Amino acid sequence: MVYAGQGDARRSIALLWRTENAPAPGGTGPGGTGPARSGPKPGLTVDAIVSAAVTVADEDGMAALSMRAVGERLGRTAMALYTYVPGRSELLDLMYDAVHAELPSDYPDTENWRASLTRWAEDTLAFHLRHPWVLQVSQARPVLGPHEYTALNTLVRLLYGTGLDAHLLRRLIGTLFHFVRGSAQTVAESRQAAAVTGQSDEEWWFARSALLGEVAPDFADRFPDVGRLESESAPEPPPADDTVPYLERQARETFTTGLGVLLDGIEAAVRRTGAP
């Protein structure tokens, strides 16, 4: 987990909101187009670097996102990036905000908040699965970039559709995010583990079960309720299209069911305040 806001806050924010139009670490002034720059022409742009970094992170994961790797993808050394970006942490902030531009914001403004929130949750889940490294960027000190704010604004708008009190809404935001992000994390980690180890969920689970049986033959006695749950909730044969891995299918079921439960809870609150 990486934390933002270490460096020069003003420069970070300026980069995020694209207020300065030149690389200029020295800072020739935040003002307009300037009187033409001296020195060699910049061969890169902040956008190009951010985009290359996103590609690296999408393809090979957060662990593979090094300054060297990003530079290499652009035909430069790692140090070349420091002309445009203060450091790795700030680059991460820029990446984070950049991908948030992908999130849709054009949900129909119908009275059916439940359908809208469901679509929002599904879109947000898919977004995090496209960019799983986003889950590893700290939330505590939000990056506060324009696209993140746009995404937040969308959710707030949908939530206002419930007609609930603003204080309650504010708290629901976090709950919804926790749920979607958690769901995404399970799937993302499952995929990455499969990619890294070259072993599918099924294979892994099978091997581990065998070892567990060796090492804890008294399993059913020590963990009776888990045992009961496993026997009672039969594994359900996969549907015709069994291309989706085991854990992933289960995670998606958890997502659908959990979202339903969550929305039921919100509905209860709506009914409670709606007809006092």
Cα separation of 168 and 142, whole Å? Answer: 21
Size of the site for DNA (CB under 7 A): 34
Cα separation of 184 and 29, whole Å? Answer: 42
Binding to DNA (CB under 7 A): which residues in 79-98? 79-80, 82-84, 87-89
Stretch that binds DNA, among 36-44, 163-171, 210-218, 251-259 (CB under 7 A): 36-44
Say whether residue 18 binds DNA (CB under 7 A): no
CB 148 within 8 A of CB 142: yes
Cβ nearer to its own copies, comparing 80 with 200 = 200
Cα separation of 124 and 104, whole Å? Answer: 9
Residue 159, both tokens? 């939530």
Cβ nearer to DNA, comparing 60 with 122 = 60
66 binds, among its own copies, DNA, none (CB under 5 to 8 A by kind): DNA
Cβ nearer to DNA, comparing 84 with 179 = 84
130 binds, among DNA, its own copies, none (CB under 5 to 8 A by kind): none
Give percent helix, percent strand, percent coil of the chain, each to the nearest 5. Answer: 65, 0, 35
Q: How far is the CB of 76 from DNA (least distance, A)?
A: 4
Cα separation of 156 and 172, whole Å? Answer: 10
Instruction: For Cα atoms 223, 225, 227, give the angle at the middle one, nearest 5 degrees.
Output: 70
Binding to DNA (CB under 7 A): which residues in 63-82? 65-69, 71, 75-80, 82
Cβ nearer to its own copies, comparing 68 with 208 = 208
247 binds, among its own copies, DNA, none (CB under 5 to 8 A by kind): its own copies
31 binds, among DNA, its own copies, none (CB under 5 to 8 A by kind): none
Say whether residue 48 binds DNA (CB under 7 A): no
Residue 160, both tokens? 């206002």
26 binds, among its own copies, DNA, none (CB under 5 to 8 A by kind): DNA
193 binds, among DNA, its own copies, none (CB under 5 to 8 A by kind): its own copies
10 Å CB burial of residue 85 (0-12, 13-18, 19+) is buried
| CA-to-CA separations, 227 to 55, 218, 233, 238, 259, in angstroms, rounded | 43, 11, 10, 22, 26
Q: How far is the CB of 194 from its own copies (least distance, A)?
A: 9
